Chain A
Amino acid sequence: MHLSKLLWKNAFRHRLRTSLTILGITIAILSFGMLRTVISAWYAGVDASSASRLVTRNAISLIFSLPISYKDRFRQIDGVQAISSGNWFGGIYIDEKNFFPNFAVEMENYLKLYPEFVLSPEQVAAASRDRKGCVVGRKLAERFGWKIGDSIILKGTIFPGDWEFVLRGIYRGRDKTVDETQMFFNWEYLNETMLKTVPRRANQVGFYMVGVTNPNRAAEVALAIDRTFKNSLAETLTETEKAFQLGFISMTEAIVIAIQLVSFVVIIIIMAVVANTMAMTARERIGEYAVFKTLGFRGYHIAGLIFGESLVITMTGCVLGIVLTYPAAKAFGSTLSNYFPIFNVATSTIYLDVAAALLVGIVAAVFPTWRAVTIRIADGLRRIG
């Protein structure tokens, strides 16, 4: 026999109590994992950002546009490799609850900037050739059952009217961090329509997506772009795609902080629950620990038994919690795919789960161990009988 066997047997001596404690830890780890995954999903756009892409927008605010005439001047700036104009379209498919991101872009240029959107060159060419052509992500196509050649009508919000598109391509993400719920259509279609209906809004773009030749020179290129348009009617603000995405997240920072706080509160609560269980356990077994000490076992043996038992309980709950996190995240992600297009359990979340469970197991055992180790043998033996 080894003492680890005793440790395992001790952990399940009170089956109901241990089972309920494990259940509590499982729920806590599941909740912690889900909340951390929500935070990861919040930052999904940031994580998917490329260091070789810059976003140029109006320096005053994102809601102000930039002239399309800037595009040619971009190409003259050293370090700029590719460029695509783009507009947030904000169209609605049938009903507002069907929300998905949709953009007017220069199709070929834009898709070249995003090699992580995988689709055949034929589909890109078909989407570019057809003025009303559009490309959507795989998840979006699956959500509405769209197939190549289908007609899609969006109701414009920023650009009024009913807008008809023809699905010419469906992209897949190169990996699971790529958002497959977006729609892109030809900017020319938007611009031509604006020229006819609201001419003052024509030849304007919401942003420029700029590809740089060397990611290490991104900051330098961004400065060069903004310097180029200094003192013009529409000054620019250029930043990396990551900084641009972080700018959006900073608007909702309070929510992210609140979620983070709740995730830590969950861990603190379960820490108290496990500490209570371990305190009860150690109090009940104080006589046994005295017997162990009488037989010659030392303080570290007793500490090993209590810490080990605490860790067996917390790590069992942790493993169950982690196992359940994956199906729970899948169900949660598919239910809320409108809000969280990328909802994957990150490896770092699993590491955090394990670290939290270890912390709970260790902290919960500290006080009972101290009590069991420091109590006089004679006093401990008096607790028996």
Chain B
Amino acid sequence: MNQTKPPIVRIRNLSKSYRRGSQIIPVLEDITFDIPDGEFLALMGPSGSGKSTLLNLLAGIDSADTGSILINGVEITTLAETELARWRSLHVGFIFQFYNLIPVLTAFENVELPLLLTRLSRQERRAHVETALRVVGLADRMDHYPAQLSGGQQQRVAIARAVVTDPTILVADEPTGDLDRYSAGEILDLMDRLNRESGKTIIMVTHDPRAAEKAHVIRYLEKGELSDASQ
């Protein structure tokens, strides 16, 4: 159903390589594809295939050698570092494999972090954070520190942090990779709900076929090349 929507992400001839000593190792080669608005895309592939690199490029935390990445009309490959940081804070929500919460901050404070870069008042920030935590089902755990939460709960806090700024795209790098099956299921259900109910575009890197099943589209990366396989 999303195929009819205009692409929110347009990737053209994207290449990326790493230098190891005198050796140049190509990671992504001439990648071209679109992601429609509201898509839930799963990127799969073996280790070292370039999935995470592609995700980092889309999220603006790494730079491509050549090619173009147009997200919601913004060509991010030409943005300067400071512009890119600002763009990330407004348009990208990150969900990491290891949650990456700040251990000395409560769930509330962790979710509030991205909002510190906005001009929202203290009361407005509080309202946003409470809403985000309510969406992920942790309204009653706001004052808990990460160490006082289970892995699944920590990942839900991380999702709340990712969505609190209402970003254009959500990128998730192995979001269930550190979770048991039950918790992983909860996280995938939550992501699915965010996609269906809020229309969030989600790009998820995963090894887990069960996780990929939740996505509308699955693309495979192998040896730096993207296959068109989809479901």
Contacts and interface: CB of A to CB of B under 8 A. Distances in A.
24 contacts: A1-B105, A1-B109, A1-B112, A1-B116, A2-B116, A5-B109, A6-B105, A9-B104, A288-B102, A291-B96, A291-B100, A293-B61, A295-B88, A295-B94, A295-B113, A296-B86, A296-B88, A296-B90, A297-B89, A378-B53, A378-B56, A378-B62, A381-B100, A384-B98
Interface of B: 53, 56, 59, 61-62, 82, 85-86, 88-90, 94, 96-98, 100, 102-105, 109, 112-114, 116-117, 161, 178
A293 B107 CA distance: 19
Most B CB within 10 A of own CB, among A2, A13, A376, A381: A381
Contact of A385 (B62, B97, B161): B97
Interface in A267-307: 287-288, 291-298
Given A1-B105, A378-B56, A297 B85 contact: yes
Given A295-B113, A296-B90, 13 more contacts: A5-B109, A6-B102, A13-B103, A291-B96, A292-B113, A294-B94, A295-B88, A295-B94, A296-B88, A296-B114, A378-B56, A384-B96, A385-B178
A298 B105 contact: no
A85 B116 CA distance: 75
Contacts of A5: 109
Contacts of A376: 62
Contacts of A287: 100
A243 interface: no
A379 B1 CA distance: 37
Contacts of A296: 85-86, 88-90, 114, 117
Interface in A31-61: none
A284 to B, nearest CB: 11
A294 B88 contact: yes
A3 to B, nearest CB: 7
A10 B94 CA distance: 23
Contacts of A291: 96, 100, 102
**Nearest 8 A-B pairs (CB), nearest first?**
A296-B89, A9-B104, A377-B61, A385-B98, A291-B100, A296-B88, A378-B62, A1-B109
A292 B86 CA distance: 12
Given A293-B85, A377-B61, A378-B56, A13 B114 contact: no
A3 B62 contact: no
Nearest to B82: A298
Contact of A297 (B53, B62, B104, B117): B117
Contacts of B109: 1, 5-6
Interface string A62-86: 0000000000000000000000000
Contacts of B104: 6, 9-10, 13
Contacts of B53: 378
A384 B102 CA distance: 12
Nearest to A384: B98
A26 B161 CA distance: 40
A292 B102 CA distance: 9
Contacts of B82: 298
Given A295-B88, A295-B113, A377 B62 contact: yes
A10 B105 CA distance: 10
B97 A295 contact: no
A384 B62 CA distance: 17
